[in-house]
Structure 1
Amino acid sequence: MKKLTLLLTALLAGMMAFGQDMKTYQYAERDTLNLYLDFYTPEQVNDSTICLVYVFGGGFIGGHRDGKWEKAYFEQLVKEGFMVASIDYRLGLKGAKNLGIFNTEPLEKAVYMATEDAISAIAYLLEHAEELKVNKDYIVMIGSSAGAITSLQTDYALCNGYLNFNILPEDFRLAGVVSYAGAIFSHEGKVKYRNREPAPTMLFHGMRDNLVSYKGISFMNVGFFGTDALVKRFKKYQYPYFARRFEDYGHSVAVAGPLTVDDLLWFCHHYIYNKERIQVDGTYTNLDPATMPPYDYYTPGDLYK
């Protein structure tokens, strides 16, 4: 019992110490909502410290910037030397029903709103860069599911000059994008980076994902392009990327962040610090699909009823 008490005390002390490195800031007000970000700082910060702007998942209908799972993940990232800015954003699909290729307007609106908020959060970080010790050259977007969509879409917006791009400095570029089960929405056909090439991009996706399609889905000029479709475009135009495809997984890859921190560190070293223009692609097989959580093979119909 004494050992257990000491262990619990140590864990609580660690959590308290971690909590002291976090501060909350209001970065915007939208539609009568105050939007906040939680800013986590590692013990040592220098000019090469990477700031991860984290966008939570939840199908644009739920989720929190400060959930238990997220906090545990952030602690892991901070211990590896990352800054983390976990942001709120408006949930534009609350109450949405019957989403599909013939009813994309609600999704487009939700993605637009979330991306607009993400850009505002980045603008806040840049405005307060000196106070927060953020290096504008080392800001990386990272997200899960809806957050991954938002992260990819934010870079897509910046590269194509739409949304509220004008609130950011003209020379601003994301240092990287990390997507766990994400996609890009386009109503102009295949994904095209018109004004400049995308940031180095890291993509994780389950090949049996029915919520955020791994291959993507399109009709006429409207499409929702997942990892497989994006990799094809990156290959064609020789954009740097790092892809991990999981053959027997569905949407559970959205929460693979804590299991892939080593990959993230490798990506940052080679793509961001060394600026290597390389393409890494791997496919993995899960040996026991029965261990997957029930939501692994959910479809949009399971969420938007």
Structure 2
Amino acid sequence: MINKLLLLSGLLFLTLTLFGQTIHKETRLYAEKAGEELKMDIYKIESESQQPQPCLLFVFGGGFKAGTRDAELYHPYFNYFAKKGFTVVSIDYRLGMKNQKAPGVFNNKPIRNAIAIAVEDLYSATNYLLENAEALSIDPSLIIISGSSAGAITVLQADYENRDNRPSADVLPDDFNYAGVISFAGAIFSTEGTPSYTQPPAPTLFFHGSADNLVPYDKTRFFKMGMFGSKPLAKKFRSERYPYMFYSMEDIGHEVSEYPIQEFLPEIEQFINDWVFNGKQWMIDINLKDMLRKSDTSTTPGNYYN
């Protein structure tokens, strides 16, 4: 508890002293796979203090077929947390759904492969940050992963496979776990029904629209195999007493993968403070109906990929 209080005091000090300072962006190559260079952008405000900072790692969206790590719509998210004393890292990953047909229950091999290589690249980026934590002034015990759409699938899947002791996670250090997960319209692919965790998952913040027809809010399954969205995942967290917070956006489609990154920044920060830094064991479900927001729910895997 003393260490957490010291961390919070340090972050408050950094927030006050760094206000108004310039955010520095550095691009690094973290891996090369199949002839493809994978880079990360590192956003932070340099200060005289050498106190290690928490790291907020972000994975972009785009259906595993498109998207970029430095898309403008993500900048408010990067800048907000950099100014709050975080090292913000946005990464490339290989896009396994390029030129592929729409995934479905009976055509799941391409999407399974796309998720697998995205998770593999996220693990590689994580290892790079761990290996360079001292030089980057990152606290290796406070790496929080977040993602939008395909990126949200990737971060949820990555924490799940690590906590469930899957062979894919063997590349990570034995004693390493992510400190938190933030998902903007994500899901987990499972062949065993609703995912079960061998170890308790990281505290997780879910955002999802109940009318999302691209990434399932509920689940799409054939027997035990399928994609399990935020609703069944939050239900599983509650039944197993895992700390989480779930913003269920009523009657909103897949745009929940984007607009909370700009409009819910204080709420995201509060989640990190309460669940990650202070270790609150809270389980909170919020059903939010925005009567002024009109939603386009026409995007489906069929028309997105074809």
* TM-score, scaled to structure 1: 0.89
Are positions 1:244 and 2:232 aligned together? no
Could you say if the C-alpha distance between residues 249 and 48 of structure 1 is closer, same or farther in structure 2, counting changes exceeding 3 Å? farther
* 8 Å Cα contact 1:208-1:297 kept in structure 2: no
Q: Please, which of 145, 168, 189 is the counterpart of residue 172 of structure 2?
A: 168
User: Whole-Å Cα distance in 2 between the matches of residues 265 and 73 of structure 1?
Assistant: 10
Structure 1 segment 1-305 matched on structure 2, within 5 A:
17-18=22-23, 21-44=24-47, 47=51, 49-194=53-198, 196-255=199-258, 256-290=260-294, 292=295, 294=296, 296-305=297-306
- Confirm or deny: 8 A CA contact 2:243 2:281 kept in the other structure: yes
Contact 1:116 1:163 (C-alpha < 8 Å) held by counterparts = no
One-letter amino acid matched to 1:76? Y
Please identify runs of 4+ aligned residues in structure 1 that moved more than 6 A: none
User: 1:81, CA displacement in angstroms?
Assistant: 2.2
Q: Aligned with 2:95: secondary structure?
A: coil
State the number of aligned residues. Answer: 286
1:46 to 1:267, Cα distance in 2 relative to 1, 3 A:
farther
Counterparts in 2 of 1:281 and 1:46: CA distance versus 1, 3 Å: farther
State the shift of 1:43 in Å. Answer: 4.2
Structure 1 residue 289: deviation in Å? 4.4
Amino acid at match of 1:279: M
Partner of 1:8: none
How far apart in 2 are the matches of 1:42 and 1:263?
22
Cα distance in 1 between the residues matched to 2:102 and 2:268 = 36
The alignment partner of 2:53 has SS state of coil
Structure 1 unpaired stretches of 5+ = 1-14
Q: Structure 1 residues 163, 85: closer, same or farther in 2, change over 3 A? A: farther
Distance 1:96 1:16, change over 3 A: farther
1:227-255 alpha-carbon deviations (Å, 9 max, x no partner) = 10101110111000011001021101101
Q: Distance in 2 between matches of 1:252 and 1:181?
A: 8
Q: Which amino acid aligns with 2:32?
A: E
Contact 1:48 1:138 in 2 (8 A): no
1:298 aligned partner, one-letter code = T
- Whole-Å Cα distance in 1 between the matches of residues 161 and 220 of structure 2? 20
1:176–1:200 contact (8 Å) kept in structure 2? yes
Contact kept? 2:52, 2:137, Cα under 8 Å? no
- Residue by residue over 1:94-144, the C-alpha shift from the partner in whole angstroms, topping out at 9 and shown as x without a partner, is 111142111111110000010000000000000000100111111000000
Call closer, same or farther: CA 1:252–1:227 in 2, change over 3 Å: same
After TM superposition, give the deviation of residue 48 of structure 1 in Å.
6.3
2:135 alignment partner AA: E
Distance in 2, matches of 1:168 and 1:111, equals: 17
Residue type of the partner of 2:38? L
Give the aligned partner of residue 13 of structure 2: none
Percent of counterpart pairs with the same letter? 40
Tell me the distance in 2 between the aligned counterparts of 1:148 and 1:118. 12
Q: 1:239 to 1:46 in 2, by over 3 A?
A: farther
Measure how far apart 1:165 and its partner are: 2.2
Tell me which amino acid in the other structure corresponds to 2:284: V
CA contact (8 A) 2:41 2:89 kept: yes
Shift of 1:47: 4.5
